[in-house]
Amino acid sequence: MCKSKEDAEAIYDKLKPYLEIRGLELEPSKTRVVEITEGFDFLSFNVRIYQTSTGEKLLIKPSKEAVKKSMRQISDKVHELNGHNIGKVINILNPIIIGKANYWRPMVSKETFSKVDFHIYKVTRRFLERLHPKKSAKWINKRYYKADFTGKSKNNWMLTDPIKNRQLKKMSQTPIKRHTMIKHNASPYDTTLEEYFKKRDNKYSTNRKNQDN
């Protein structure tokens, strides 16, 4: 792992022949060399080394821009549904919430999940207040917020459709599930490790099936 731009540029030069053999190349306009302590965003994640009480630690978190974009998307969806009932809001938001949570769950995302959940609470609360402008906060609480029907959590503030009893998912209900790291010296191009990667792929497929069920 490089800690300076000079080291990174040296690695960049060494990568060129490795990639060329495989018919690949780095696009200069889309390639940026940064110090790992500064960090970088990639595929909606931020990769950066942090100083902790036990020393340096590499953390991969949902990027700030990706989180902001997701919260804007949720706000826009709820705004578009003004005038509809809460059941429509729940039907539209649940796939978005589940999809984002599943994408972020392998990384350091617990804080992000709580942040997005609070944002969702605020925008859906405003939706309810617009839907019932003459009703009190107590009336709204009693009608629309219930305990978790699944019994998986002790949360008593689950937004609930009073007609169909569907509940809005919370990101924080999604457990963090780390990917199994590949051995540092393992390469899929190493034919002697064919069995290792086969077992790894089988284990990953089994875990995915269990999650879907």
Q: What tokens does 132 get?
A: 């019932």
Q: Does 197 map to a domain?
A: no
Q: Quick one: pLDDT at residue 5?
A: 61
Q: Does 212 map to a domain?
A: no
pLDDT tens for the chain, 213 residues: list them. 455 566 667 777 888 888 898 898 888 777 777 888 889 999 999 999 998 888 999 999 999 999 999 999 999 999 999 999 999 999 999 999 999 999 999 999 999 999 999 999 999 999 999 999 999 999 999 999 999 998 888 899 999 999 999 999 999 999 998 776 676 677 777 777 788 778 777 765 555 555 554
Q: Which amino acid is residue 32, in one-letter code?
A: R
**Angle formed at CA 123 by CA 89 and CA 177, multiple of 5 degrees:** 80
Q: Quick one: pLDDT at residue 16?
A: 83
Q: Is 38 helix (H, G, I), strand (E, B) or coil?
A: coil
Q: Does 99 map to a domain?
A: yes
Q: Does 29 map to a domain?
A: no
Q: Does 59 map to a domain?
A: no
Q: Quick one: pLDDT at residue 105?
A: 95
Q: Does 162 map to a domain?
A: yes
Q: Quick one: pLDDT at residue 188?
A: 72
Residue 44, H or E segment: none
Q: Quick one: pLDDT at residue 13?
A: 80
Q: Which amino acid is residue 167, in one-letter code?
A: Q
Q: Does 37 map to a domain?
A: no
* 57-106 tens-digit pLDDT: 999 999 999 999 999 999 999 999 999 999 999 999 999 999 999 999 99
Q: Bridge-partner residues for 62, per DSSP?
A: 45
Going 27 to 32 to 35 to 36, the CA torsion angle's sign is: negative
Q: Does 211 map to a domain?
A: no
**pTM of the shown model:** 0.78
Question: What is the spatial distance between Cα 101 and Cα 98, in angstroms, rounded to a whole number?
Answer: 5
Contact criterion met (CB below 8 Å) for 177 and 211: yes
Question: What is the spatial distance between Cα 62 and Cα 36, in angstroms, rounded to a whole number?
Answer: 16
Distances in Å between the Cα of 15 and the Cα atoms of 24, 112, 143, 165 are 10, 34, 60, 56
Range of the domain at 159: 64-173
Total domains present in the chain: 1
| Tokens 């994640």, located at residue | 45
